[in-house]
Chain A
């Protein structure tokens, strides 16, 4: 088995607090919320399992002083983690109004976007659910502009639906996503001059070098 300290990227001499902190940082990074409808969600889930296992191992080795620290931060033990992902799929199925939509949701869950899209294409009633699922397919593909438009339509058609609202919020307020220590919340649109005024590596090294030629060709 891999060295649990290596997985958490800390020395074996780390204090209990340091272990906890390292675990929390990594758990925040690979949290399912950051990989919601992401084609790489399975890789994130693997990472999460490794981290949870490493943390549990260290806790066991150290005799788990105090409370059941494994799940103390809500990122949780492996079991909790599993239930989160499972819960997500269950949610998908519960909300499905009809079996046709249910089949679309299953195809999306399996990553078969083409099939899901084809099934939606055969439906005449473009209701809230239809728009939501269309948006989910777009989101998975990385077509963010269209995903947002479909989510918006879904929310307009069915304002009380929490799932649709959550998907739109996730797109529009992505700041909840993980950031490395020391990095602020950034947006292409924000007006935080102090941060965005930070000098970029423009004119990196050689003004004389070839880059000038390229610019001449293209611009």
Chain B
């Protein structure tokens, strides 16, 4: 269980996370939703201890340290691979540092996405994103944190990825998927966490929503107090009521 308790983080005067408490059991696919600057990336980076924060984050009761950091992997749209290295050189480095690295998964995913064994700097943006996710999935982590890693890929690519993800994940693996693409992932995730201005404003299982006859998009809109009349109002204002 990954537990986040009373985590706060500020960048100067801007409060990025405000007293966030949430837990993630193993074996879930979680969608982490929020607008730009809501605090999604800050929350993920806090989990990985890439940034300093107030509060506590523990994995199975122990704070994140050298002992258990290999249980967390990270794929980011900023890319964390080494551009001058080839995929096979990355594999060798990961194998050296992450004892649970899955060579089998790495090979299968490399084949699936048909990625060449050339330095990453020569890859297209889509290929770079795919590789970023391949490494996160192959590391052998229990918690796979994915931060908008498929931004810039086309819809077919993304759909392929979601299907592969569902097909390969073990029962103890948890994916925390930070994305804007709510509609697109709504069929793949089991839980949705909504974050706004550094605070968790919603946490719901998609099964629960389904049982209530609700859907994720409506739930998110309600949580964000989305005003459906704002488009017609804006158009009215702009066209002096001609529309």
A, B from the same assembly: no
Residue ranges of A at the interface with B (Cβ–Cβ < 8 Å): none
